[in-house]
Amino acid sequence: MSEIIAIANQKGGVGKTTTAVNLAASLADSGKKVLLIDADPQTNATTSLGFNRNDYEYNIYHVLIGIKKISDVILKSKLENLDLLPANIGLVGIEKEFYDPSKKNRELLLKKALNSVKSNYDYILIDSPPALGPITINALGAADSVIIPIQCEFFALEGLAQLLNTINLLKKSINPKLKIKGFLPTMYSVQNNLSKQVLQDLEHHFKDKLFLGKENEFIIVPRNIKIAESPSFGQPVTTYAQKSKGAKAYNNLAKSILKG
Ligand SMILES: Nc1ncnc2c1ncn2[C@@H]1O[C@H](COP(=O)(O)OP(=O)(O)O)[C@@H](O)[C@H]1O
Ligand SMILES: [Mg+2]
């Protein structure tokens, strides 16, 4: 049975793409078949795996509007067991489709598209854009669960109520089985008192929704230069700097998810 996990938070720069790419790579490295879906017109997940615009003709947009079969658009990445459904800036055009009232089930375009390939994968991870618009709704409509990265900086929890509210509305309408898989504190910095404060707030409000490592410690992604560098080498941090603190954090997250 494949598990579909959306990585979502309508705030930009909180670590969604970083989490989607590195978790996907780590799960693939442990032998699981993984599909990473780039659902952001900014195409950062696609670029992070070393693809550029000239490497592919079609992208998720063509799948969502129904002119291409998803299996014809999925690319093999350089990493074993890891495939990518790439994005392109043209994906912004999906907004128009979405607001076309003649289109039925507009929130479930991605879910429908995934039906034909789902059984090929153990995990399907969806990197969402920084908005609660139609693309994120499609990601959450297709997902079994959602991981919410929280940047350990000022304003971290701002907007979270709105995201949780959206998730609840989707549970009551198009996706009753949608679960919050967990909150992932990202860019944690020991020198930064704000980081500690954000973590305390998360522990206070969502203790049972934080990921646990093997010693039952909370999994926290540290601010780590190797994480920031790795996309420019077209690699996840888990292969670019295997021994870095960043790689370890994402490998621990993968282990926690494999445990279920
Ligand atoms: N743990 C981290 N340590 C250092 N830099 C990070 C870390 N996580 C993310 N970044 C960097 O922060 C920026 C925003 O992260 P990204 O994953 O692209 O956020 P989002 O997808 O939510 O917009 C990127 O440049 C990324 O490389
Ligand atoms: Mg992103």
pLDDT 10s digits, 4-24: 999 999 999 999 999 999 999
Give residue 178's identity as a one-letter amino acid code: L
Q: Mean per-residue pLDDT for 75-93? A: 96
Whether the pLDDT of residue 94 is over 90: the answer is: no
Per-residue model confidence as pLDDT tens digits over 32-71: 999 999 999 999 999 999 999 899 999 999 999 999 999 9
Residue 143 and residue 4 in contact, taking contact as beta carbons nearer than 8 Å: yes
State the pLDDT at residue 73: 98
Whether the pLDDT of residue 109 is over 90: the answer is: yes
Residue with tokens 């693309």, as numbered in its chain: 135
Per-residue model confidence as pLDDT tens digits over 202-237: 999 999 999 999 999 999 999 999 999 999 999 999
Residue 141 and residue 111 in contact, taking contact as beta carbons nearer than 8 Å: yes
Q: Is the CB of 248 under 6 A from ligand 1?
A: no
Residue with tokens 């879910």, as numbered in its chain: 111
State the pLDDT at residue 101: 75
Per-residue model confidence as pLDDT tens digits over 120-139: 999 999 999 999 999 999 99
Ligand 1 atom at shortest distance from the alpha carbon of 187: 1
Whole domain around residue 226: which residue ranges? 3-259
SS3 19: helix
Q: Is the CB of 130 under 6 A from ligand 1?
A: yes
- Ligand with the closest atom to the CA of 41: 2
CB-count exposure of residue 162 (10 Å: 0-12, 13-18, 19+)? exposed
Ligand 1 atom at shortest distance from the alpha carbon of 151: 8
State the pLDDT at residue 64: 93
State the pLDDT at residue 158: 87
Q: Is the CB of 136 under 6 A from ligand 1?
A: no
Q: Is the CB of 18 under 6 A from ligand 1?
A: yes
Handedness of CA 35, 41, 43, 45 (dihedral sign): negative
CATH code for the domain of 26: 3.40.50.300
Per-residue model confidence as pLDDT tens digits over 169-182: 999 999 999 999 99
Which pTM was predicted? Answer: 0.97
In total, how many domains does the chain have?
1
